[in-house]
Amino acid sequence: MSSVLAHPSDPHHPLHCDLAVIGGGPAGLMAAEAAAGAGLQVHVFDAMPSVGRKFLLAGKGGLNLTHSEPLEDFLARYGARQAALAPWLHAFGPAQLRAWADALGAQTFVGSSGRVFPKDMKAAPLLRAWLQRLRGRGVQFHMRHRWLGWGEDSTDGTQRLILATPAGERQVAARALVLALGGASWPRLGSDGAWVPLLAQRGVAIAPLAPANCGFDVPRVAAPVGETRRAFFLELLGRGPAPAVGWTPFFAERFAGQPFKSVALSFTDSQGRSFSRRGEFVATATGVEGSLVYAVSSLLRDEIAAHGHASFHLDLLPDHSPERVLAEVRHPRGARSLTSHLKGRLGLDGIKAAILYEQLGKEGMNDPQALAQAIKRLPITVVAARPVEEAISSAGGVAFEALDAHLMLRDLPGVFCAGEMLDWEAPTGGYLLTACHATGRAAGEGAALWLGESGI
């Protein structure tokens, strides 16, 4: 039997409900939908003025809901957390997410890359339809309610919560609790990681939050050969001042924000894990970012954590064989400058030519063998991931070992966790949203099941 809501609009009176969901992102909304569908009285609380802010940002350039590749390949995108997430993604994976979105009027389609989008490419219409359905099922929303933790302990198992509101602190008594507070990326949209100490104080195992799908900084000194390279690594080993980051002022001023198009990136870490893919990325004032870099970011981040630096290789002309590149570089150029020669013979100009000058210097550029080798395999060293606040998503979070098969915390009965606050990560391409929806649904269903069995 659902509890009776006491004084819903008065923050000075406790609010009673079956299920409190903290966090109004995709995971929290999906938990609310699943629990409301099971007959529970659900209240959603969010610190922001409106729900789904990060969801709307994700759809700014076209909402990539999920991916159409075979499920086995899809699951592999979650790396070390594939086995942990598999049960929930089998229950509510790409096909089920598309059917759910279609039922809300999104009418999804598969793009040329295999990614799945709503017909109008926008997030706002889908979110509006979703909220309308949730309200129709009795879900109530409370904005500008920031969760501060638990109040007094309850012997009857009730979750006694404290939330900060513009009118002062508010108490909520819920029979069960779903936490869907996100990670630590884009804190201005609500996911600031402030929940970490609240759960840690209660003994919940949490892996440190770290940037995922992020950019990286290059060291100011980036030359790959000679004494400059030796000095750089001495700095990394702590035998000199910490290296400044960023390209040379010349490169940064002219090329920050410009893309490297039609390149191939390869990387093998110290454990033998390899990555190789063609695509695009962007130079920033201090390093690199963009889709191709995001795809390898977890390996680069972990390598930097272990060794202080990581070096990947760029193939600036992946459609050209090494032999052809060497032949064109060696071709007599007469009175033409080297810049004109590279542009005329190989189509290398702009940022691609500039990065060669940046990395090789004048001496290396005038060595045909070294230049040809760099065009096909240019080493780029990175020394730090950009801050988690700038990342598209975050890694780390509540350890799966702390959760049962229904995403309930083993040491906190009646408390469930979902979404990006769990210890998993995935590349962009619809994988993040799909797992948030899947774990949110599992947590909502788990809360309903637990309340039915516990009798609280």
169 shares its domain with 253:
no
Q: What is the pLDDT along the chain (456 residues), one digit of tens a residue?
A: 333 333 445 556 689 999 999 999 999 999 999 999 999 999 999 999 999 998 998 878 789 999 999 999 999 999 999 999 999 999 999 999 999 999 999 999 999 999 999 999 999 999 999 999 999 999 999 999 999 999 977 667 899 999 999 999 999 999 999 999 999 998 988 899 999 999 999 999 999 999 999 999 999 854 444 434 444 444 445 444 545 789 999 999 999 999 999 999 999 999 999 999 999 999 999 999 999 999 999 999 999 999 999 999 999 999 999 999 999 999 998 899 999 999 999 999 999 999 999 999 989 999 999 999 999 999 999 999 999 999 999 999 999 999 999 999 999 999 999 999 999 999 999 999 999 999 999 999 999 999 998 877
pLDDT one-digit tens code per residue, 355-396: 999 999 989 999 999 999 999 999 999 999 999 999 999 999
In a domain, 2, yes or no: no
Burial class (CB in 10 A: 0-12, 13-18, 19+), 447: buried
Q: Is residue 390 part of a domain?
A: no
Residue 312: inside a domain: yes
171 and 74 part of one domain: yes
Write out the residue range of the structural domain in which residue 142 sits.
15-212+395-454
Domain boundary among 335, 365, 385: 385
380 and 413 in a common domain: no
- In this structure, what DSSP letter does residue 422 have? B
Please check whether residues 273 and 312 belong to one and the same domain.
yes
Point out the domain boundary residue: 367, 385, 403.
Answer: 385
Please report whether residue 309 resides in a domain: yes
The DSSP line for 337-385 is -HHHHHHHHH---HHHHHHHHHHHHHHHHT-HHHHHHHHHSEEEEE-EE
Same-domain check for residues 316 and 408: no
Q: Are residues 222 and 336 in the same domain?
A: yes
The answer on 248 and 363 residing in a single domain is yes
Measure the CA–CA gap between 27 and 420, rounded to whole angstroms.
Answer: 8
Q: How many separate domains does the chain show?
A: 2
360 shares its domain with 257: yes
pLDDT at 396: 97
Predicted TM-score (pTM) of the model is: 0.88
Q: Name the DSSP class of 155.
A: T
Nearest by Cα to 222 from 188, 245, 201, 202: 245
Q: Do residue 349 and residue 224 come from a single domain?
A: yes
Do residues 188 and 43 share a domain?
yes
CATH number at 47 reads 3.50.50.60
Together in a domain, 325 and 272: yes
Tell me what pLDDT residue 10 has.
Answer: 56
Q: Is residue 251 part of a domain?
A: yes
Q: Is 356 part of a structural domain of the chain?
A: yes
Last residue of a domain, one of 385, 409, 426: 385
Does the residue 3 lie in any domain? Answer: no
pLDDT tens, position by position, 293-335: 999 999 999 999 999 999 999 999 999 999 999 999 999 988 9
> What DSSP element (H or E) covers 58?
helix 53-58
Instruction: Examine the domain organization and report whether 204 and 250 are in the same domain.
Output: no
SS (H, E, C) 181-234: CCCCCCHHHCCCCCCHHHHHCCCCCEEEEEEECCCEECECCCCCCHHHHHHHHH
- Considering the domain boundaries, does residue 420 fall inside one? yes
